[in-house]
Copies of this chain bind each other. A is one copy, B any other.
Amino acid sequence: MVELLPIGQFSRAVLISPKTLRDYHEAGLLTPAVVDPRTGYRGYRPTQIGEAAVIRELRALDVPLAEIAQVLAARDPDVTRAVLAAHRDRMREQAERVARIADTLDGLLADPGSVTRLAVVERDRAAMPVIAMSASVLESEFAPFLDLAYPRLYGFLAARSVPPAGPAGALYPGDQFSDEPVEVTAFVPVDAPLDGDGEVESRVLPAGRVAVVTFTGPYDELTAAYRAVGTWLAGKHLTTDGPLTETYLVGPDSGLPESDYRTEIAWPVREGEAA
């Protein structure tokens, strides 16, 4: 007969609380060697201390229980390596994200009022599936093109009983201001990619880092917002990367006066010196 440790003693030996040990039992992570069928009392063998210690080490490194379970089930160094590598990558990403948040807060502290004004913030944007219509048009034709495109896009969704996943927007080339026609895309976000037809195409706007500013006011004053982003970009020595997005948070369909319109401008950026 080997010795059996009751949960309290095992708990002190491995520095894991009894409650947590019970949870590990229920989760199948660490099953006691013996469970008294009458009283429910758990009994652990001294040899189980090693396994508990592994769990504790990995938890101290914030490895999720589900992944610890994988490591323990496989008992294979390759699996362990893969799981830990994935976890490490996530930790590194998180560290970078949090450090960037701290930097942004530093910026806000330099001017706390900026939260309430025309503030440019950097943000990580998720990939977004959309339906879209594109055309090559002159700047003076932007508005007529959009007026034509949106009814078609919303009609496309209505015909398929798919609701829009957010407010409509448009893509513009951010790096050329010419008299030539440029590629403009009107889009409406959807929850999941849809098949297009001859006119409406399905796209996924890429995830990435963007500089964002939200402007309240009529469309003919949007240039103030562009000036703000431009100044900000110059100050940060960031280089832009791809077409910029305008999102029409409050637009004509709101029924509100033009002075209440809200437009978000999102400009993809990359680390590094401006060109």
Q: Chain A, 80-113, contact with B by CB distance < 8 Å: what is the 0/1 string?
A: 1100110110011011101101101110110011
Q: Which residues of chain B have C-beta atoms less than 8 A from A37's C-beta?
A: none
Q: Which residues of chain B have C-beta atoms less than 8 A from A9's C-beta?
A: 254
A222 within 8 Å of B (CB atoms):
no
A58 B115 Cβ-Cβ under 8 A: yes
A101 B91 Cβ-Cβ under 8 A: yes
A255 B109 Cβ-Cβ under 8 A: no
Most buried by B among A12, A81, A256: A12
B166 A104 Cβ-Cβ under 8 A: no
Q: Which residues of chain B have C-beta atoms less than 8 A from A77's C-beta?
A: 112-113
Nearest B residue to A87 by beta-carbon distance?
A: B105
CB distance from A154 to the nearest CB of B (A): 13
Q: How many residues of A contact B (CB 8 A)?
A: 57
Q: Which residues of chain B have C-beta atoms less than 8 A from A115's C-beta?
A: 54, 57-58, 80
Given contacts A13-B249, A14-B249, contact A94 B84 (CB under 8 A): no
B216 A105 Cβ-Cβ under 8 A: no
Most buried by B among A15, A105, A119: A105
Write 18 A-B pairs (CB below 8 A) sorted by A numbering: A5-B254, A12-B167, A13-B167, A15-B249, A46-B250, A53-B214, A57-B121, A61-B105, A62-B101, A77-B112, A81-B112, A84-B112, A85-B105, A88-B102, A88-B105, A91-B101, A95-B95, A95-B96
Q: Which residues of chain B have C-beta atoms less than 8 A from A113's C-beta?
A: 77
A260 within 8 Å of B (CB atoms):
yes
A141 within 8 Å of B (CB atoms):
no
Q: Is the interface of A mostly helix, strand, loop or mixed?
A: helix
Q: Which residues of chain B have C-beta atoms less than 8 A from A81's C-beta?
A: 109, 112
B91 A109 Cβ-Cβ under 8 A: no
CB distance from A196 to the nearest CB of B (A): 24
Choose among B46, B92, B108 the residue that contacts A99 (Cβ–Cβ < 8 A).
Answer: B92
Q: How far is the CA of A96 from the CA of B12 in the complex (A)?
A: 30
Interface residues of A in 211-257 (CB under 8 A from B): 214, 216, 249-250, 254-256
Q: Chain A, 148-171, contact with B by CB distance < 8 Å: what is the 0/1 string?
A: 000000000000000000110000
CB distance from A163 to the nearest CB of B (A): 11
Interface residues of A in 9-41 (CB under 8 A from B): 9, 12-15
Nearest B residue to A81 by beta-carbon distance?
A: B112
Q: Which residues of chain B have C-beta atoms less than 8 A from A270's C-beta?
A: none
A66 within 8 Å of B (CB atoms):
no
A1 within 8 Å of B (CB atoms):
no
Choose among B46, B88, B101 the residue that contacts A106 (Cβ–Cβ < 8 A).
Answer: B88
